Each structure stands twice: as structure tokens, then as C-alpha cells.
Amino acid sequence: MNTTADKFITSIDPRAAREAAQWLMRLHSGKHSEADQEACEAWRKSDPAHELAWQRAEMVSKTLGMVPASVGMPVLDRPALLERRATIKTLAMLIAASPIVWATYRAAPWHEWAAGVKTAKGEIRHMTLGDGSKIVLNTDTAIDIAFDEHTRLIKLHSGEIHIETAVDPAHLPRPFVVQSENGRVRAIGTRFTVRHDAALLESRTHVAVTQGKVEIRALNNYTAYLLDAGQKTDFDDDRVAPFTRLKTGTDGWINGVLIANDMPLGEVVTQLGRYRSGILRCHPSIENMRITGAFQLKDTDSILALLQKSLPIKIQKRTRFWVSLEPA
């Protein structure tokens, strides 16, 4: 019997890796039959290379979350064959590769590169979807839009979106869902914001509701949480954090404005850093200075210059891409 170490070290036959990827897709489709399950078992027993490839496939799925069981394959299994083939190809590559490659895959923005709609650093984009719903993409955001006869789905890979849902014109109304790596958010007559902070070791999804309510389900938690207007929360794969009150002006970015109401300077710098390339840092000794005002996000250099005039701080620029706020 192969040990865990064997599964990590032993090379995987490329053909077996591809077949394992195909079986993984089929058994996570939500449409597989008992005959499919038996056929997969027979395939695994027919060759030791098949069994090793299947064990590696399950490790890839668990480690990278590429085929989460709670989501199944409603998007990947739709008639978009090119997308399905591309997914099988990627899965097969990861099954045949070493876990070092998996970590590289998770750390690199592959999902963002494959997304249907993207914004650059500092860009804010307004869109109207096919059902009449309105969506705003904040800076450095990547999404896929996947509407079919069953669901209106937005896949949020990274960044932040604001959605104002419309009444579904379809004969049978479809749920409006935002899916992130951590789980799903379902709109209930709503205006709401979802932000996904992706990271190699940990990722979280933040939700804020300004009108109506949303239902939140974490990836590995079957409990549904209802978030009402004026509330916000965040969640990871396993649990949803306690709800807190939503501060006025937190959605000012929709109109290109950062609204600071007694906001710590460190938080202001963190927010500005999302809209500019390079590194923007704040010295710990000044990060608790309080800031109140409204700032146009399209020109972060002007905001920094204004802060320098208004506060006992100085702006240190090593290069245009490395800026620090220091005590004066």
C-alpha cells in the first residue's frame, strides 16, 4: 500500500492523471449515477497507476479546493465544453505535478487571468447585467459571470463588487448568487457588497448589506446565515463571524470616493494602497492618527500630498512604487 509520502513523491502517469481528472469532474457533477461510481471503482482497481492517480486527484481537490463538493460542478458541467476541457487539463497537470507546484498554483493569480471580467489597479467599472442587475467592480477585481437557466451566478475570484439585483425576467425566477473560494452569498432583494481577500495560507470573504438581506453559507458549513441591511460580516471556509454594524460611507468607493469618518491613518493608507501599484506603508507611530474627510480615489498622490499638509507627517519616496508615511 502506498504511504502518504509515496503519494507526494511518486510520479504520476500523464494518461492516468487525465483519466483521474475526468472521473473527479464526473463524480462531483451532482449528476453521477451509482453505475458511474462503480465504473470509477473498477477503473481504479484495473491498474495500480490508476489508483495512485486517483489518490493524488483527491489530494489535489482537498488541498486546492478546485472541485468543492458543496458547489459541485454546475458551472463547469454546463454545455461550455471548452471551459470543461480547460479545467480537466489543469486538474490533470496538477495531479501529475508535485505538491510544490500546487503551492505555486495557489499563490499565483491563475484564476484571475482566466476570469471573464477584470479591473486594473485603480479602476472602478460599472456594468448592467443581462437580467437588469447592476454591478460595480472595485479596483483589482476579477469575476466570471455565469448565468444559465437555473442560476444567476457571479464567481468572485478576487477584489470587491457591489451588486444591486433586479427582478429576474426569466419565467422561473433564478436565485442570484455570488460565489467565492470560501462559500456562497445569495441575494434576497438586495443591494450588497462582497469582497474576497485571497491568500496562500488563508482567505476570507467580507459581506456588507445596504438594502434587503442576503443568505450566507460557508463552504464547509451547512448552516445558512441571514445578514440584514445595515450589517456586515466575514467568513472563511468553515465559519461566519458575528455580525457588526455597517458604518456610513463604506460604499463610497462605488462613486470613486474614500469616505473617512474618524478613520485611523493606517486604515486610510491600507485603503489607498488598493488603488495604486507598488508598496505604500505607514509608520506604526503615526498609524492611529484620526482622519475625517472625503477623498477622490482616482488621484492617490494628491491624497497623500494633502495628508502631508494636514498632519505632522512626511512622505518618503524611494521610488514611485515604494512610498512610506513617516513622522515629521
Q: Has residue 250 been placed in a domain? A: no
Q: Has residue 260 been placed in a domain? A: yes
299 in the same domain as 224: no
- 113, 75 contact by CB (below 8 A): no
Measured distance CA(7)–CA(51) in Å, rounded: 10
Mean pLDDT, to the nearest integer, of 51-69?
Answer: 68
Mean pLDDT, to the nearest integer, of 220-240?
Answer: 95
Domain boundary among 108, 134, 155: 108
198 in the same domain as 174: yes
169 in the same domain as 220: yes
- 117, 90 contact by CB (below 8 A): no
Measured distance CA(257)–CA(251) in Å, rounded: 9
Q: Has residue 304 been placed in a domain? A: yes
- 256, 247 contact by CB (below 8 A): no
- Residue 211, all three cell numbers: 438594502
Q: Strand locations in 40-174, DSSP E?
A: 117-118, 125-128, 134-137, 142-147, 152-164
pLDDT the model gives residue 63 = 55
More confident residue, 54 or 232: 232
139 in the same domain as 80: no
CATH assignment of the domain containing 129: 2.60.120.1440
Mean pLDDT, the chain, whole residue set:
84
Amino acid at 265: L
pLDDT the model gives residue 271 = 95
142 in the same domain as 82: no
Give the rounded percent of residues in the chain with a pLDDT score beyond 70: 81
- What is the dihedral sign for C-alpha 205, 206, 211, 216? positive
Determine the straight-line distance between the first and last CA of the chain, rounded to whole angstroms.
Answer: 66
121 in the same domain as 11: no
The DSSP call for residue 252 is G
More confident residue, 190 or 92: 190
Q: Has residue 78 been placed in a domain? A: yes
Note the pLDDT tens digit of each residue in 281-324. Answer: 999 999 999 999 999 999 999 999 999 999 999 999 988 889 99
pLDDT the model gives residue 254 = 96
- Given a cut of 70, whether residue 75 has pLDDT beyond it is no
Question: CB burial class (10 A; 0-12, 13-18, 19+) of residue 151?
Answer: middle
- Helix%, strand%, coil% for the chain, nearest 5: 30, 35, 35
CATH assignment of the domain containing 304: 3.55.50.30
pLDDT the model gives residue 106 = 53
Give the rounded percent of residues in the chain with a pLDDT score beyond 90: 57
pLDDT the model gives residue 76 = 38
41-52 exposure pattern, b = at least 16 Cβ within 10 A, e = fewer = eebbeeeebbbb
- 298, 256 contact by CB (below 8 A): yes
237 in the same domain as 180: yes
214 in the same domain as 154: yes
Question: CB burial class (10 A; 0-12, 13-18, 19+) of residue 215?
Answer: middle
172 in the same domain as 240: yes
More confident residue, 62 or 71: 62
11 in the same domain as 75: yes
Mean pLDDT, to the nearest integer, of 55-83?
Answer: 52
pLDDT the model gives residue 77 = 39
The DSSP call for residue 140 is T
Residue numbers of the domain that contains 220:
114-245
User: By three-state DSSP, how is residue 36 classified?
Assistant: helix
103 in the same domain as 11: yes
Phi, psi of 255, deg, nearest 5: -100, 15
The DSSP call for residue 174 is P
Q: Strand locations in 129-167, DSSP E?
A: 134-137, 142-147, 152-164
198 in the same domain as 156: yes
pLDDT the model gives residue 68 = 39
* Count of domains forming the chain: 3
Measured distance CA(242)–CA(232) in Å, rounded: 9
pLDDT the model gives residue 101 = 60
- Given a cut of 80, whether residue 120 has pLDDT beyond it is yes
Q: Look at the pTM and tell me if it is higher than 0.75.
A: no
Q: Has residue 283 been placed in a domain? A: yes
Q: Has residue 14 been placed in a domain? A: yes
- 66, 114 contact by CB (below 8 A): no
Domain boundary among 46, 76, 108: 108
Measured distance CA(145)–CA(141) in Å, rounded: 13
Domain boundary among 198, 218, 245: 245
Note the pLDDT tens digit of each residue in 136-187. Answer: 999 999 999 988 888 999 999 999 999 999 998 888 889 999 999 999 999 9
Question: CB burial class (10 A; 0-12, 13-18, 19+) of residue 302?
Answer: exposed
Neighbours of 233 (CB within 10 A): 19
Q: Has residue 83 been placed in a domain? A: yes
Q: Has residue 124 been placed in a domain? A: yes
- Residue 9, all three cell numbers: 513523491
pLDDT the model gives residue 55 = 85
